[in-house]
Amino acid sequence: MQTRRIKFTLSFALVLLLATAKAQTYTRISNGVSINTKGITTEITFFNNGIVHVKKYPVGNVAETKSFSVIGKPGKPTVAIIEGKDGLQIKSKNIAVIMSMPSGQIKFGNNEGHLYLQENSTSFSPVKDGNENTFRIKQSFKLERDEAIYGFGQFQNGHMSQRNQQLLLKQENMRIAIPFFQSIKNYGVFWDNASATVFSDSNNVASLQSEIGNCIDYYFIKGANADSVIEQYQLLTGEVPMFPKWVFGYWQSRERYTSQHELLDVVNRYRALKVPLDGIVQDWQYWGEDQADWNAVRFGNPRFPDPKKMIDSVHNMNAHIIISVWPSFGYKTKIYKELEAKNMLFNFQTWPPKDVKVYDAFNPEARDIYWSHMKNDIFSLGMDGWWLDATEPEKAGPDLVIDAQSTYAGSFQKVGNAFPIATTGGVSDHQKQLTKDKRVFILTRSAFAGQQRYATMLWSGDIQGKWDVLRAQIAAGCNLSLSGIPYWNTDVGGFFTGNNYPLGVKDPAYKELYVRWFQFATFCPMLRSHGTNTPREIYQLGNRGEWAFDAVEKYINLRYQLLPYIYSCAWQVTSQHLTMTRALAMDFASDKNVWDVNNQYMFGKSLLVCPVTDSLYTSRAGGVAETNFSNVKTTSVYLPSGADWFDFWTGEKMKGGQQVSKQVPIDIIPVFVKSGTILPVAASKQFALEHADSTLEIRVYEGANGEFILYEDEGDNYNYEKGVYATISFKWNNAKYQLEISDRKGKFPGMLQTRNFNIKLVGKDEGKVVKYNGKKVVVPFN
């Protein structure tokens, strides 16, 4: 151990003033150093070769922190420490950290001298957290002028790049606060703080300021590309489990099904129409309509006389059901009384406001109680998953009252942003401990860093049914994915429609919006129709043969045809840390034209999706909405450079790096396939697990080498964690113009031993049929 002594002075004003030191000192600690400079203790340690952990606090203070996000265990990278005239260098295999002297500023670069990011300033402002002395903390960084950054969770402002704006990172309906961003330069910064935080970027200086913090605590993460940044981040905060295969089918929902009969009638009608369906959702008030019985976590409404029979009936129709559960309870409920007796309820207003209280999800015993009621009164009936609503949690009343609320983990002001990971994590852990036969599935509207490990599917909240809101969803979903949360969806058609479309589905203008929103949602991780003000089951749109019905049915069937691709992408999320909803900058970072594109994205690594986000066929002549499809309209699409592109619908091949105009009749959303893609396409089915895909069409998009790994398993248990699954690799060699189908790897119960692959070379007349028995096959083309 090597130590030098330091003399320093430390004075506080409104902001801690950093005094000039006559000398510096550092102490070698595990995987790094601790150094005092200008009255600040800075700990710089390497979590691994690609992640640097930085902690700062005033000298003499204790940097006690609790991370709700970080669960990874540090490795043992080789770390070199070099003293130089310009400061101290701490280096791993991949990253060089330089602390400048005497300023104490930190720079992150590589061992060849290339700079990624540098600090600008640090401040600690003394504040009170109840009776505790603590700080408002702030760290700023210098960014390059044209450097694009992404992440911070979900915002509804339509911005793709988060440069030159101010964002409040505080959980709220329609806003998801994740204190993590990543740069087009392939690094990320995770700010490990659960209090309300403001990100601000102006004049190329970006800062993060949190209301409460005993210390500044952040991680610098370096990767080779956006996916590897997310991989490192998930190694730090938790990896993503597989959802059941049925999650990726079509889901029908409404606010709300008012009876057992009504819910079952919806599933029956889909089956009678032979329109595919995998899931139905029961929203609130199944417990009863007395507000004092709010969220009793049990069936109490007489209109649901036999909930087990209802669930069994859904299953007998080969569908699945999830149910709404909130983190708040009315005063007459059994769970309220049990939590109240143990002082485990908060005292701030929530929604609905009268005599309803939120539980302290930070308390492990409270999480046990919460789950015990869910397990005994709902899960035991055969429920398939959870809709954990209002996990911000929903708050009403003054922030001062809410922030001062004491929780098991500290004041709400200090830890409030972590409420969603605490409550969803409790449910996820408890269910997985109970059974490994049914994968956890949680639909929820809020998240914190690391929540991806708890099998949660986020949705974008109670958004308005409007065209500009539809467009804003694209950037919102992409930025959430870039925040390390890969699963996300929206209420198709927007949750609220009454102000904009009071006639709902009877209004042709709303039908046009709904159809376009549905097309977008087909290429999202979950396809789920939900909302209030108007019903939106497919038969509400008209009859087969009418434009709205036919367009929606077409995309439901397309969703099922793409299930082999989607489920294999889900395996890539779990096994390779990839993400489905991908900003164009993730895959085409060298093309600066895509850095701030907010109306296109990649779905998986192969499909370029360009949603139609304008009304093209409806007008309100004389105040009455009328449709006119006589003239086919067009929309503009940018094809990123670095690849050739094929029109998904026609097979037409085009060069990348250009803007193209595409016709968009009401039943077409522009979708392009990247050259080198191998795309498996199945026959449609009535539900995801109806049958194995004994015949698959394998579409090959030539022009570049490519590979696709088809993933298959039992569909709904955790045996895949033990290696019980199978993969088949397809490789296209563009120079040899041949497709190689590998030996099948692995096995699982019910696996097809033989099947047919219909190989189609897109844009060419040639196609071939391969009878595959698990052994390698090479398929040449002319």
124 in Cβ contact with 137 (< 8 Å): yes
* Six-digit token string for 670: 């522009």
**Can you tell me the distance from the alpha carbon of 17 to that of 25, in angstroms, rounded to the nearest whole number?**
19
Report how far apart, in Å, the C-alpha atoms of 748 and of each of 439, 692, 715, 726, 751 are.
Answer: 16, 13, 10, 7, 6
**Can you tell me the distance from the alpha carbon of 361 to that of 370, in angstroms, rounded to the nearest whole number?**
9
Provide the β-strand partners of residue 98: 89, 107
CB neighbours of 151 closer than 8 A, spacing ≥ 6? 162, 178, 180, 181, 182, 188, 479, 482, 483
Instruction: Decide if 462 is catalytic.
Output: yes
Q: For the chain, how many helices (H) and strands (E)?
A: 13, 50
User: Please, which contacts does 732-738 make with residues 24 or more away whose CB atoms are closer than 8 Å?
Assistant: 732/676, 732/678, 732/700, 732/702, 732/705, 732/706, 732/707, 733/705, 734/676, 734/702, 734/703, 734/704, 734/705, 734/706, 735/705, 736/780, 737/702, 737/780, 737/781, 737/782, 738/778, 738/779, 738/780, 738/781
Gyration radius of the chain's alpha carbons:
27
DSSP string for residues in 290-310: -GGGTT-SS---TTSS-HHHH
**Can you tell me the distance from the alpha carbon of 601 to that of 517, in angstroms, rounded to the nearest whole number?**
15
Instruction: Decide if 355 is catalytic.
Output: no
CA 167 to chain centre: 18
Catalytic site residue from 43, 129, 377, 389: 389
Name which of 273, 289, 402, 281 is nearest 349 in CA terms: 402
Name which of 543, 496, 553 is nearest 519 in CA terms: 553
Catalytic site residue from 262, 338, 462, 614: 462
Instruction: Give the burial class of 766: count Cβ atoms within 10 A of its Cβ; 0-12 exposed, 13-18 middle, 19 or more buried.
Output: exposed
426 in Cβ contact with 444 (< 8 Å): no
* Six-digit token string for 205: 């200086």
**Phi, psi of 534, rounded to the nearest 5 degrees:** -145, 140
* Six-digit token string for 270: 């889909």
**Phi, psi of 565, rounded to the nearest 5 degrees:** -70, -45
Residue found by looking up tokens 């909240």 in the block: 461
Name which of 465, 472, 544 is nearest 510 in CA terms: 465
Q: Is 260 helix (H, G, I), strand (E, B) or coil?
A: helix
Provide the β-strand partners of residue 301: none
Catalytic site residue from 392, 507, 512, 702: 392
* Six-digit token string for 293: 């019985």
CB neighbours of 721 closer than 8 A, spacing ≥ 6? none
150 in Cβ contact with 71 (< 8 Å): no
Provide the β-strand partners of residue 674: 645
CB neighbours of 431 closer than 8 A, spacing ≥ 6? 371, 375, 379, 438, 440
Residue found by looking up tokens 């209002």 in the block: 390
Instruction: Decide if 468 is catalytic.
Output: no
Active site residues: 389, 392, 462
